[in-house]
Amino acid sequence: MPVSPADARRLAAALPDVVDASSDRALNFQIDGKGFAWSWNERVHPKKPRVPRLDILAVRCPKDEKGPLQFANPEAFVQDPHYADYGAVVVRLDAIDEADLAELLAQGRESLLAAKRRPGGARTRRSPATR
Q: Rounded CA gap, 116 and 120, in Å?
A: 8
For residue range 95-121, list pLDDT tens digits in order.
999 999 999 999 999 999 988 777 665
Instruction: Return the pLDDT at 128.
Output: 42
The pLDDT confidence band at residue 129, using thresholds 50, 70 and 90, is very low
The reply to whether 83 falls in a domain is yes
Q: Collect all residues with Cβ–Cβ distance below 8 Å to 71 and sequence separation of at least 6.
A: none
Task: Output the domain CATH number for residue 115.
Answer: 3.90.1150.30
| Domains in the chain, number | 1
Three-state DSSP at 36 gives strand
For residue range 2-46, list pLDDT tens digits in order.
899 999 999 999 999 999 999 999 999 999 999 999 999 998 999
Three-state DSSP at 61 gives coil
Give bridge partners of residue 28 from the DSSP assignment: 38
The reply to whether 129 falls in a domain is no
